């Protein structure tokens, strides 16, 4: 089977020559055979949408400056497939263009161990963003475009979308960001086959798709989505626009296989036996290749691929040391460190660009200083958290460090699924949650994020740092900006004293180095251990004084990284034989629960008492709320005494 | 201070008489004083937006058939305040209309123990939906309108919104549902003050608000948002439309206090001292009331109020017993039970209406049978999960049972924050997640919900049932439909054999009664306990056979309600001295972690080994995925042996 990369990225507009047209048309038919065959072999997958999107995928990858040679580089075009279930068509197009062996893709579609997963994933070259949950792809494209602009590269970004997913609200958010930021590099192709799982798009949930894009300021183009020349022309035309462009592609569901055309059922139904043979015959092939491919599926284990990570070059400057004479909120310490790093790096050759995102809370979340110092690196996205989470995620996977600061309930509770997808995509987002816990106070229960540990614990890649005071916040901020990976910094709202050592010097002072995983042993003690998280360290230290008055010696430790506590540190911390965890977080899902699981697996007899939030919070002054919710200093001391009983 | 309820709900259109106009205009000024004073006393809150929305709130509550007398009834109008931070204005309007003592509201705003919280909450009469996280209020209004229609009541539903939140994508989703369902009962008033926290709405994130509502099919009206007569006229006009209506209200941020007008800073800034006195003087009062109110704030503790729950009247019919001869997927057993209950109750006088929501997956999530049997009770909302979650939540709090079935990643991971707000609102949603765990198989990691226990664990009210087999699914479905509270049923995709007792009869047979919290002791054993959840019970039972072959006696228990396991049952289950938890869920955040925390607090020496998912899943046939991820029968048996070492 002959195939070759047809690179059209530098072709001028106008008619393609007959040879090229024939090669591409034949290629589309070949791809159709592969797409149907892989779903038949897997007995699973989405054939009909793959066929309606097929020329869209083929021509986009043919036109894009994205090749097997440059797919792991940064300076190139990007392609996002938002309707990730059309993977059979996408894999076929990529294989035909030389990204990988087509037989391998066909043989191992939706098979354990294979990179040819049910929904497209970044494991494969040519796939820039793993999708599957609909409605996120456009946001990812916007993120890639912002990253390229920040990097000074002028490449294009393409997004392929389905028509059913057009009604997801996140798309409208992403459209507005693209227009506000003037991202003319973005070209979207929508597969307007008119059919979704439950019937026609018109009957399931009608929307005037053209008008929606127009009103938000996009150039809207139209095209026969199965016409190679028309797709080439419209892709070239979109590239000349000074606005982002969307192409509404008229297509036929199941195109090319007569009995699939226009039938909603083939959204997720595969064919076998006679129907398969008929499909192959209609596509100019036969069913003779099926058995050898089935054999290959049984006999061979394809290798999973690895995601591409890019090095970060940022000068994180000199740490700032906050003295004990003054209380500072952690969010201000974060903001100051961020501005320091911004100033040190913006415009310096060879440095990784830093983009900071804000959802209309810059002053509260303390990125206003950065915005003033580095306005070109500051992106105001309005009250649009779902899109912002994905935009930041995709940008962070494409050569910039992307930081988004927001209240805990907006940055994580509201955008949890987007942050989960950022994790699956091995992105590099820095998520700073400035208002977490009951400490938020008067804004009340809807605004008190007491789930951020419990939420991120459901992911496998996210790191979480909950700093104890302004000094640790400063160090953790500089560390996070310069280390790869999705990292969340969570902090409360209140001004906090500096944590000091027994001599009254800053505990996280000039000699302190942040190490992810380490427990901070803030005070020694022999009778029990108070293990606190974040701003609760101050209440734990005060409780230690009360306990001392009763003749009890409490060790006080701080868990800055509750998701990943070094086990040796935990063993040492719990060597008092009694552990009381103290957290401004739902007691069922946070630090206490994590520590319990570790201690339980250690199998040692340790007295254990978790202290945390046991109901939705009150609205009131922060200290009053802690008292009402049983988390004030006296309550901690009482819990410690109870634990020793 | 004189005030009285001005009921305008039955007034004909046209000019209000001069007395009424004067009373209302004076009332608005009085409310302004109260609104500013309460933020001054609390030293916290949002004065300027409260002042711009003030006449909107006052006139809406005056026109609505919602009074202190009927606020806890079902047959009335409903009002949703989407921009919940305008609570000072809303509380003032409600107090002026006689819903509660204005002095109490002013004295105890944002104080611990008080129902006058920072963002409006359902604790108070007149507040139908607690908000605070922006962009959800319109969806709640749509839910109330659907509930009223299902109940056969023709009341109106009003939503007050801010202009900054217009760009949240969830609004677009809700707009489309309202139009598709023909909800002309819904009237929305938008406070178009043009200013949000970071500056003008135009500069922060521009949107053509009028065009967005028009395109989605709404009637758009305009009004001076501070003109009592104009607001009355437009509210009457909107009530006559055969389409849902939105009123764009031209307002001035901070209206009535000269130095606040048009100043973004007063979004969240309060005044004191001379500025407070000046504000009072401009509002026709003085600052003499402040000190007595401050005294009252110190001396008195207002009572929190309770949320209103409504009884459920549903005939849940006779359970179906599935025999051991045939494998059935739990989702089909759920769908059959749901259709049974639908058929038994639809159209029967005195029964609580049942509404079933679907996001374009009816066939997969098995609500297609219900849709065919009870088409008037079936609501297809398209691929719009955020809105659907809130719509179902609000409907469930207003006299209907609302059930939403979806894949786990869409119904919960994507809509987590909406489900958190449903919990805060003490709603009555039945959330059925039909595709959870690695069991989803080929669709791969983006579709495998391995976080549903870990997510709901962050809430305080949600109940969770993970049935073992079709029989338990049938019983749990009937139980959930007839019990108050947000309840999630989670199940995998695969067909499952029926769990049998040692004689081969259905374990959850005709004599079984579902009890929330109970552990199911499926097999006796003395050496260790396999504690499984959901479909993993089958693998645990098979592992027991392997262990028996090695001379080990394994007790097998099933935890159908992992969030709330009766402690006595857990003590008994763990009396073997060794517990291996087995779950198709992230091992860090699910059953194992919950059991560890309970056992740790019991303080007994028990060997413990949690078995679950330790990385994002593969794409492949379900059994292959379990094997590759270390969760097949052999792996369970090995873990059990290791635990005893």
How many whole angstroms separate alpha carbon B314 and alpha carbon A254? Answer: 44
Give Cα B34 distance to the centre of its chain: 31
Residue in B215, B387, B442 nearest the CB of A110: B442
Whether the Cβ atoms of residue B395 and residue B147 lie closer than 8 Å to each other: yes
Which band of pLDDT confidence, cut at 50, 70 and 90, is reported for residue A8? confident
Picking from A383, A409, A621, the nearest residue to B167 by CB comes out as: A383
- Put simply, the answer to whether A586 touches B457 (Cβ < 8 Å) is yes
Considering A254, A282, A297, which residue would you say is the last residue of a domain? A297
Residues B59 and B189 in one domain: yes
Total residue count of chain B as it appears in this document: 645
Closest CA to A191 of A113, A127, A250, A138: A250
Instruction: With cut-offs at 50, 70 and 90, classify the pLDDT of residue A4.
Output: low
Domain boundary among B431, B462, B496: B496
Contacts of A303 in chain B (CB under 8 A): none
Q: Determine the longest span between alpha carbons in chain B, in angstroms.
A: 92
Instruction: Note whether A62 and A94 are same-domain residues.
Output: yes
**Pick from B172, B424, B600: which is nearest to A608 by CB?**
B600
A269 and A143 in a common domain = yes
* Nearest chain A Cα distance for residue B173, angstroms: 6
A12 in any annotated domain = no
Closest approach of A176 to chain B, Cα-based (Å): 7
CA–CA–CA angle B23, B27, B29 (5° rounding): 125
A343 in the same domain as A262: no
CA distance linking residue A497 with residue A490, whole number of Å: 17
Question: Does A4 touch chain B if contact means CB atoms closer than 8 Å?
Answer: no
Domain shared by B283 and B344, yes or no: no
CA distance to partner chain A, nearest, from residue B6 (Å): 30
Decide if pLDDT at B585 tops 60: yes
Contact A579, A573 (CB under 8 A): yes
Residue B4: predicted pLDDT: 52
* A360 and chain B in contact, CB less than 8 A: yes
Confidence class for position A316, pLDDT limits 50, 70, 90 = very high
The domain in which residue A615 lies consists of 519-644
Distance CA A138, CA A187 (A): 10
Interval A28-41: pLDDT, tens: 999 999 999 999 99
| pLDDT tens column, A133-150 | 999 999 999 999 999 999
A5 inside domain: no
Asked whether residue A530 falls in the same domain as residue A491, the answer is: no
B360 lies within 8 A of chain A by CB: yes
A57 vs A86: CA distance, rounded Å: 9
Task: Answer yes or no: do B416 and A416 touch at CB < 8 A.
Answer: yes
Shared domain check, A339 and A285: no
Average pLDDT estimate for B207-229: 98
**pLDDT above 70: percentage of residues in chain B:** 99
Sheet order of strands, B219-224 included: B78-81, B157-162, B186-192, B245-250, B219-224
- A273 shares its domain with A378: no
Same domain, A441 and A540: no
Dihedral of alpha carbons B126, B130, B133, B134, sign: negative
What residues in B contact A454, CB-CB < 8 Å?
454-455, 457-458, 589
Q: Which residue has the tokens 């400035």?
A: A434
Q: What angle do CA B290, B293, B297 make, to 5 degrees?
A: 135
| pLDDT given at position B2 | 39
Domain membership flag for residue A419: yes
Question: How do residues A343-381 score in pLDDT, each as one tens digit?
Answer: 999 999 999 999 999 999 999 999 999 999 999 999 999
Lowest mean pLDDT among A296-305, A316-325, A435-444, B459-468: A296-305
Residue A2, pLDDT > 60, answer no
E strand or H helix that includes residue A278 = helix A273-282
- Residue B203 Cα, gap to closest chain A Cα (Å): 9
Angle in degrees, 0-180, between the axes of helices B18-42 and B290-299, rounded to the nearest 10: 60
Letter string b/e over residues B492-521, b meaning 16 or more CB atoms within 10 A of that residue's CB: bbbebebbbeeeeebbbbeebebebebbbb
Tell me if B223 sits within 8 A of B247, measured CB to CB: yes
The Cα-based distances of A546 to A532, A534, A613 in angstroms read 16, 20, 22
Burial of B2 (0-12, 13-18, 19+ CB in 10 A): exposed
Q: What is the pLDDT of residue A603?
A: 86
User: Which CATH number goes with the domain that contains B554?
Assistant: 3.40.50.920
CB atoms within 10 A of CB A380: 21
Number of C-beta neighbours around residue A282 at 10 A: 17
Nearest to B397 by CA among B121, B162, B93, B185: B121
Is B364 within a domain? yes
B416 is a domain residue: yes
In the DSSP assignment, the letter for residue A500 is B
Tokens of B515: 């009890």
Task: Please say if the pLDDT value at position B369 is more than 50.
Answer: yes
Put simply, the answer to whether B601 touches A593 (Cβ < 8 Å) is no
Q: Which of B212, B364, B620 sits opposite A215 (nearest CB)?
A: B212
Is there a single domain that holds both residue B282 and residue B134?
yes
What is d(CA A356, CA A342) in angstroms, rounded to the nearest whole number?
10
Q: Is there a contact between A110 and B382 if contact means CB atoms under 8 Å apart?
A: no
Q: What is the spatial distance between Cα B574 and Cα B566, in angstroms, rounded to a whole number? A: 12
- Does residue A174 lie within any of the structural domains? yes
Give pLDDT tens digits for A473-500. Answer: 999 999 999 999 999 999 999 998 999 9
Residue at a domain's end among A428, A463, A496: A496
Examine the domain organization and report whether B392 and B271 are in the same domain.
no
* B597 within a domain of the structure (yes/no): yes
Kindly give, in sequence order, each residue whose CB lies less than 8 Å from that of residue A508, ignoring residues fewer than 6 positions away: A468, A469, A471, A472, A475, A499, A520
For residue B240, the model assigns a pLDDT of 93
Do residues B63 and B229 make contact, with C-beta atoms less than 8 angstroms apart? no
* Inter-CA distances, A273 with A41, A51, B59, Å: 11, 20, 68
Could you give the CA distance from residue B229 to residue B208 in angstroms, rounded to a whole number?
27
Which B residues, 400 through 429, put their C-beta within 8 Å of a C-beta on chain A? 409-410, 413-414, 416-417, 420-421, 424
Q: What is the CATH classification number for the domain harbouring B177?
A: 3.40.50.970
pLDDT above 50 (res B3): no
How many domains is chain B partitioned into structurally?
A: 3
Q: State which residue of chain B sits closest to A380, comparing Cα positions.
A: B204
- In what side-by-side order are the strands of the sheet with B401-406? B378-380, B354-358, B401-406, B429-433, B487-490, B463-465
pLDDT digits (tens, 9 = 90+) for B16-38: 999 999 999 999 999 999 999 99
Among B124, B207, B390, most A C-beta atoms within 10 A, so best to mutate, is B207
* Burial state string for A467-500 with b = 16 or more CB within 10 A and e = fewer than 16: bbbbbbbbbbbbbbbebebbbbbbbbbbebebbb
Q: Which residues contact B428 (CB under 8 A, 6 or more apart)?
A: B309, B312, B396, B397, B401, B402, B484, B485, B486
Q: Is A44 helix (H, G, I), strand (E, B) or coil?
A: coil
Residue A399, CB-side half-sphere exposure with 13 Å CA sphere: 20
Chain A positions touching B362 (Cβ under 8 A) are: 197-198
Q: Give domain status of residue B3, yes or no.
A: no
Q: Can you tell me the distance from the alpha carbon of B209 to that of B136, in angstroms, rounded to the nearest whole number? A: 17
Backbone angles phi, psi at A592, to 5 degrees: -60, -45
Task: Name the average pLDDT for chain A.
Answer: 96
Contact residues, chain B, for A622 at CB < 8 Å: none
Whole-number CA gyration radius for chain A: 28
Answer yes or no: do A283 and A407 share one domain. Answer: no
Contacts of A273 (CB under 8 A, 6+ apart): none
């Amino acid at each position: 089977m002959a195939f070759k990369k047809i690179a059209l990225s530098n072709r001028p507009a106008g008619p393609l020559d007959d040879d090229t047209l024939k090669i591409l048309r034949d290629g589309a038919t070949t791809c159709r055979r592969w797409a149907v065959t892989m779903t038949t072999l897997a007995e699973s997958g989405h054939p009909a949408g793959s066929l309606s999107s097929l020329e869209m995928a083929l021509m986009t990858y043919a036109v894009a400056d994205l090749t097997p040679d440059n797919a792991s580089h940064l300076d190139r075009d990007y392609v996002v497939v938002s309707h990730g279930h059309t993977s059979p068509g996408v894999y076929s197009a990529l294989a035909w263009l030389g990204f990988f062996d087509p037989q391998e893709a066909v043989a191992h579609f939706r098979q354990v161990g294979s990179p040819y997963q049910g929904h497209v994933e970044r494991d494969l070259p040519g796939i820039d963003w793993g999708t599957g949950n609909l409605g996120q792809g456009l946001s990812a494209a916007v993120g890639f475009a912002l990253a390229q602009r920040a990097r000074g590269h002028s490449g294009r970004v393409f997004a392929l979308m389905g028509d059913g997913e057009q009604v997801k609200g996140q798309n409208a958010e992403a459209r507005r960001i693209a227009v506000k930021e003037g991202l003319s590099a973005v070209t979207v192709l929508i597969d307007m086959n008119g059919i979704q799982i439950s019937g026609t798009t018109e009957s399931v949930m009608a929307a005037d798709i053209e008008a929606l894009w127009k009103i938000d300021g996009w150039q809207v183009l139209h095209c026969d989505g199965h016409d190679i020349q028309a797709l080439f022309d419209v892709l070239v035309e979109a590239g000349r626009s000074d606005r982002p462009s969307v192409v509404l592609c008229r297509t036929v569901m199941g195109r090319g296989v007569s009995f699939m055309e226009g039938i909603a059922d083939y959204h997720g139904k595969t064919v076998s036996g006679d129907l398969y043979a008929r499909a192959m015959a209609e596509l100019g092939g036969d069913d003779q290749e099926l058995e050898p491919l089935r054999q290959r599926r049984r006999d061979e284990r394809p290798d999973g691929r690895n995601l591409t990570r890019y090095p970060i070059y940022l000068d994180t400057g000199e740490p700032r040391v906050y003295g004990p004479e003054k209380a500072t909120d952690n969010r201000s310490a974060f903001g100051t460190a961020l501005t320091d790093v911004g100033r040190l790096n913006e415009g310096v050759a060879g440095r990784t660009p830093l983009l900071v995102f804000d959802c209309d809370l810059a002053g509260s979340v303390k990125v206003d200083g950065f915005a003033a110092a580095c306005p070109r690196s500051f992106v105001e996205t309005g009250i649009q958290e779902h899109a912002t989470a994905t935009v930041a995620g995709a940008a962070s996977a494409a050569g910039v460090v992307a930081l988004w600061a927001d209240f805990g309930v907006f940055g994580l509770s509201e955008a949890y699924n987007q942050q989960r997808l950022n994790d699956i995509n091995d992105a590099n987002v820095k998520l700073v949650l400035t208002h977490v816990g009951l400490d938020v106070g008067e804004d009340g229960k809807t605004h008190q994020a007491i789930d951020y540990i419990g939420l991120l614990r459901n992911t496998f890649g996210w790191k979480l740092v909950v700093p104890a005071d302004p000094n640790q916040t400063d160090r953790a901020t500089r560390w996070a900006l310069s280390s790869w990976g999705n990292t969340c910094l969570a902090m409360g709202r209140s001004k906090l004293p500096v944590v000091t050592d027994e001599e009254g010097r800053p505990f996280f002072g000039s000699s302190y180095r942040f190490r992810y995983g380490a427990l901070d042993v803030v005070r020694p003690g022999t009778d029990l251990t108070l293990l606190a998280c974040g701003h609760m360290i101050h209440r734990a230290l005060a409780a230690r004084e009360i306990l001392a008055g009763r003749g009890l010696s409490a060790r006080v430790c701080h868990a800055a990284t509750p998701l990943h506590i070094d086990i040796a540190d935990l063993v040492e911390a719990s060597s008092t034989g009694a552990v009381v965890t103290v957290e401004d977080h739902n007691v069922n899902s946070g630090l206490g629960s994590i520590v319990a699981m570790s201690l339980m697996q250690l199998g040692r007899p340790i007295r254990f008492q978790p202290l945390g939030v046991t109901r939705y919070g009150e609205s009131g002054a922060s200290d009053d709320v802690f008292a009402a919710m049983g988390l004030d200093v006296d309550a901690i001391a009482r819990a410690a005494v109870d634990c020793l009983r």
